[in-house]
């Protein structure tokens, strides 16, 4: 399904509810953001460390806020709310990955801090070889372009299409206008200010993002509960949504399908065939969530340049760890601020308490309609009073700009440090900064070129969700196996990444025709049809297993790694001095907050069981 259609429908003429107070709130937000960006740019120095890592001088709260802001984009908010309205809390698995940030804080930060690397591929070169650095750099750049940049453009167009559906400049509609404006403005302050501008504007954006989304949740629960308040609203929410929507653990086989390994028929209540289906193609099965989701989470939070670059900008191991723990705390909020509003929208539609949301619920089936994908903007339009509506929309825009700025900065860092500096090892600091700015401008150009593809594609949002599942496993394997298993060598790492990426790319190519053309379908039962219909989480598990086997087998068939090269880069080769410095970098405060975060995650898993 084309993700944008129901959202644009909600933004059709007659639905606009924006007032002058709303625009004033948005204008004040942008004025504040511009002031922060200007102040940061004035403080910048013309060195690579300052431009790409903010001089390694970010405070713990800036590190944590920037990690969180980079993760949460507008498409994240709108998509999670839409999923909440249709599938309940199923995607909360991904949002409860705050524990992955604790793995970053306690397991990987010590290695990153003492190696003083600029990028994740650079760390991989030190642990294994320069070839592995090039492979990861190129794959990371491609991944950023086809996933994060594309999704960011898409979200910008959606937000503006929702706010100003009738805005046009000649034949150019509001989707194009919004996409171009957001890309250019974000690219401008990212290119001028580098990592410091991205990090400090992220810190401002997090406040607006969390505050605005919290307002929507509170107003929704208050409307459900009426005069009885928020607690009554939560009781009403559980009543209207039912236990299934509050269940994190979905069955392996969806209702109406037969538990078999062969292609099967999906049946309706009367036993009639509704469509051909593959057994693996279940939405969010518990097995996939239990195995695949942590693999993607650990890759994303612990090894992805897009996220880890903030921790690399900390002045010490202690600050990097504290910032990562703070980010883990912030990561607890999305379940309640983005997913729960989707459930609230469904409950309000089902109860009839907000007539404007009626299109979200189908009384005949008792299920959410396609319009549920636009749950978040629909609630903004029909629930919030003037002024607060503007604050929430400012939060949407801040989420969009924060995630785009992060990917622009990560791409420029990867290209400049991992590729350009290798080609020109004698480049001056000012030359590296200049190339970083040029790389950012190029990324902006690529983003603009993506707009026609993004707007015209069908099912793009779901397709991009699966991209990470196909590309993350080999990176996860080489990083985690690399620091825990000293016997694994450069050849094992290289072949694991090459074969893992080939298998993932194969699945992406098989999926692409179905994504670009909703009418395209492989012959039922054919090899390509089977591959296309295997749930992406199960396929991701397969790639993980293949990559791990290749890395271990090739490593043990070849020579052991050089002991001097891997000194301090694995747990087994960490020196006594390394261990002493790491132990001195944390105290009771870090442990207590980590335990509290784990307790909150455990509570959520126990509570959302239906």
Question: Rounded distance, CA 181 to CA 326, Å?
Answer: 32
Is 4-250+306-456 assigned to CATH 2.40.100.10?
A: no
CA atoms within 13 A on the CB side of 435: 20
Task: Tell me what the mean pLDDT of segment 327-355 comes to.
Answer: 89
End-to-end CA distance of the chain: 28
Question: Rounded distance, CA 378 to CA 473, Å?
Answer: 36
CA dihedral 363, 259, 249, 510 (to 10 degrees): -90
Q: Are 509 and 435 in contact (CB under 8 A)?
A: no
**Taking all residues of the chain, what is their mean pLDDT, rounded to a whole number?**
80
* Residue (of 128, 242, 146) closest to 457 by Cα position: 146
139: exposed, middle or buried (Cβ count in 10 Å: 0-12, 13-18, 19+):
buried
161 pLDDT band, cuts 50/70/90, is: low
Where in the sequence of the chain do the CATH 1.20.1730.10 domains occur?
Answer: 4-250+306-456
Kind plus residue range of the DSSP H or E element containing 379: helix 375-383
DSSP symbols for 534-551: S-HHHHHHHHHHHHHHHH
H helix intervals, 457-526: 460-484, 490-516
Radius of gyration of the chain (CA): 24
- Tokens 């800036």 correspond to what residue? 62
* Residue (of 550, 384, 503) closest to 18 by Cα position: 384
276: exposed, middle or buried (Cβ count in 10 Å: 0-12, 13-18, 19+):
middle
- For residue 72, what are the contacts with CB-CB under 8 A and spacing of at least 6? 209, 334, 399, 402, 403
- Tokens 């694995």 correspond to what residue? 570
pLDDT of residue 595: 96
Above 70 in pLDDT, residue 273? no
pLDDT digits (tens, 9 = 90+) for 386-398: 888 888 877 777 7
pLDDT of residue 155: 64
Q: Are 281 and 250 in contact (CB under 8 A)?
A: no
Rama region for 311: left / alpha / beta (φ>0; ψ in -120 to 50; rest): alpha
* Residues β-bridged to residue 275: 266
Question: Rounded distance, CA 486 to CA 174, Å?
Answer: 54
pLDDT of residue 403: 76
- Tokens 């030359």 correspond to what residue? 431
**Maximum CA pair distance of the chain?**
73
Helix (H), strand (E), coil (C) string for 388-445: HHHHHHHHHHHHHHHHHHHHHHHHHHHHHHHHHHHHCCCCCHHHHHHHHHHHHHHHHH
Planar angle of CA 226, 231, 235, nearest 5 degrees: 85
Is pTM beyond 0.85? Reply is: no
516 pLDDT band, cuts 50/70/90, is: low
Task: Tell me what the mean pLDDT of segment 488-503 comes to.
Answer: 94
Low-confidence winner among 6-10, 170-174, 443-447 (lowest mean pLDDT)? 6-10
pLDDT of residue 166: 66
Task: Give the 3-state secondary structure of residue 361.
Answer: strand
- For residue 401, what are the contacts with CB-CB under 8 A and spacing of at least 6? 33, 182, 185, 186, 201, 205
The long-range contacts involving 109-113, CB below 8 angstroms and separated by at least 24 positions, are 109/311, 109/317, 109/320, 109/321, 109/324, 110/317, 110/574, 110/578, 110/582, 110/585, 111/483, 111/568, 111/569, 112/308, 112/311, 112/312, 112/320, 113/314, 113/316, 113/317, 113/320
* Residue (of 424, 440, 435) closest to 141 by Cα position: 440
The pair of three-digit structure tokens given for residue 399, joined into one six-digit string: 């989420």
Q: Are strands 361-362 and 367-368 parallel, antiparallel or unpaired?
A: antiparallel
Ramachandran angles phi, psi of 84, nearest 5°: -60, -40
Q: Are 489 and 560 in contact (CB under 8 A)?
A: yes
- Helices 305-312, 60-71: crossing angle, 10 deg rounding: 170
229 pLDDT band, cuts 50/70/90, is: confident
pLDDT of residue 465: 64
DSSP symbols for 173-194: -HHHHHHHHHHHHHHHHHHHHH
Ramachandran angles phi, psi of 277, nearest 5°: -145, 160
Question: Rounded distance, CA 95 to CA 154, Å?
Answer: 21
Question: Rounded distance, CA 297 to CA 282, Å?
Answer: 20
Above 60 in pLDDT, residue 281? no
Above 60 in pLDDT, residue 460? no
Q: Are 493 and 128 in contact (CB under 8 A)?
A: yes
pLDDT digits (tens, 9 = 90+) for 541-567: 999 999 999 999 999 999 999 888 888
Task: Give the 3-state secondary structure of residue 22.
Answer: helix
399 pLDDT band, cuts 50/70/90, is: confident
Task: Tell me what the mean pLDDT of segment 575-596 comes to.
Answer: 92
The pair of three-digit structure tokens given for residue 284, joined into one six-digit string: 């969010």
Q: Are strands 273-277 and 264-267 parallel, antiparallel or unpaired?
A: antiparallel
CA dihedral 511, 512, 517, 523 (to 10 degrees): -40
Task: Tell me what the mean pLDDT of segment 483-496 comes to.
Answer: 94
- Which of 199-213, 291-305, 434-448 ranks highest by mean pLDDT? 291-305
Above 60 in pLDDT, residue 16? no
Low-confidence winner among 48-57, 77-86, 112-121 (lowest mean pLDDT)? 48-57
Percentage, residues of the chain above pLDDT 70: 81
- Helices 286-303, 460-484: crossing angle, 10 deg rounding: 70
pLDDT of residue 275: 43
* Residue (of 504, 499, 442) closest to 470 by Cα position: 504
Low-confidence winner among 45-59, 415-429, 454-468 (lowest mean pLDDT)? 454-468
pLDDT digits (tens, 9 = 90+) for 245-265: 888 776 655 544 444 333 444
């Amino acid at each position: 399904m084309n993700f944008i259609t129901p959202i644009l429908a909600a933004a059709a003429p007659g639905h606009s509810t924006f007032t002058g107070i709303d625009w004033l709130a948005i204008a004040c937000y942008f004025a504040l953001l511009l002031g922060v960006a200007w102040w940061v740019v004035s403080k910048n120095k013309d060195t690579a460390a300052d431009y790409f890592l903010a001089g390694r001088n970010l405070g713990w709260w800036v590190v944590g806020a920037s990690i969180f802001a980079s993760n949460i984009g507008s498409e994240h908010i709108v998509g999670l709310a839409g999923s909440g309205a249709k599938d309940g809390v199923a995607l909360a698995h991904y949002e409860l990955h705050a524990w992955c940030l604790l793995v970053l804080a306690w397991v990987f930060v010590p290695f990153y801090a003492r190696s003083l690397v600029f990028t994740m591929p650079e760390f991989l070169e030190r642990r294994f070889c320069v070839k592995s650095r090039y492979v990861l750099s190129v794959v990371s750049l491609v991944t950023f372009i086809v996933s994060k940049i594309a999704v960011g453009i898409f979200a910008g167009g959606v937000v503006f299409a929702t706010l100003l559906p009738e805005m046009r400049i000649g034949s150019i509609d509001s989707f194009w206008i919004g996409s171009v404006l957001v890309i250019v403005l974000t690219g401008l302050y990212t290119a001028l200010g580098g990592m410091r501008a991205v990090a400090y504007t992220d810190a401002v954006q997090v406040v607006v993002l969390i505050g605005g989304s919290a307002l929507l949740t509170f107003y929704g629960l208050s409307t459900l509960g009426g005069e009885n308040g928020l607690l009554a609203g939560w009781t009403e929410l559980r009543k209207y949504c039912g236990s299934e929507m509050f269940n994190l653990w979905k069955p392996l086989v969806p209702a109406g399908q037969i538990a078999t390994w062969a292609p099967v028929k999906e049946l309706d209540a009367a036993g009639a065939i509704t469509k051909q289906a593959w057994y693996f193609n279940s939405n969010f099965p518990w097995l996939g969530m239990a195995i695949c989701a942590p693999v993607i989470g650990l890759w994303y939070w612990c090894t992805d340049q897009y996220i880890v670059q903030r921790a690399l900008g900390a002045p010490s191991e202690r600050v990097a760890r504290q910032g990562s723990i703070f980010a883990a705390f912030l990561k607890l909020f999305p379940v309640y601020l983005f997913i729960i509003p989707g459930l609230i929208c469904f409950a309000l539609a089902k109860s009839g308490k907000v007539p404007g949301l009626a299109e979200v619920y189908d009384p005949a089936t008792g299920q959410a309609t396609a319009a549920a994908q636009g749950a978040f903007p629909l609630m903004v339009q029909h629930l919030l009073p003037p002024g607060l509506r503007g604050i929430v929309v400012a939060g949407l825009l801040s989420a969009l700009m924060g995630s785009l700025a992060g990917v622009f900065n990560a791409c420029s860092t990867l290209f400049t440090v991992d590729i350009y500096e290798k080609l020109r090892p004698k480049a001056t600091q000012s030359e590296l900064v200049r190339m970083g700015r040029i790389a950012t401008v190029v990324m902006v150009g690529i983003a603009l070129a993506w707009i026609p593809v993004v707007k015209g594609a069908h099912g793009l949002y779901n397709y991009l969700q699966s991209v990470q599942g196909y590309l993350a496993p080999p990176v996860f394997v080489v990083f985690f196996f690399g620091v825990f298993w000293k016997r694994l060598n450069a050849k094992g790492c290289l072949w694991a990444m090459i074969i893992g990426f080939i298998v993932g790319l194969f699945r992406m190519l098989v999926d692409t025709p179905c994504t670009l053309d909703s009418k395209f379908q492989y012959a039922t039962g054919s090899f390509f049809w089977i591959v296309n219909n295997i749930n992406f989480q199960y396929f991701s598990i397969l790639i993980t297993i293949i990559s791990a086997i290749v890395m271990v087998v090739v490593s043990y068939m070849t020579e052991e790694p050089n002991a001097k090269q891997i000194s301090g880069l694995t747990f087994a080769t960490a020196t006594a001095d390394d261990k002493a410095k790491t132990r001195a970098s944390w105290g009771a405060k870090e442990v207590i907050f980590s335990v509290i975060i784990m307790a909150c995650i455990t509570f959520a898993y126990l509570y959302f069981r239906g």
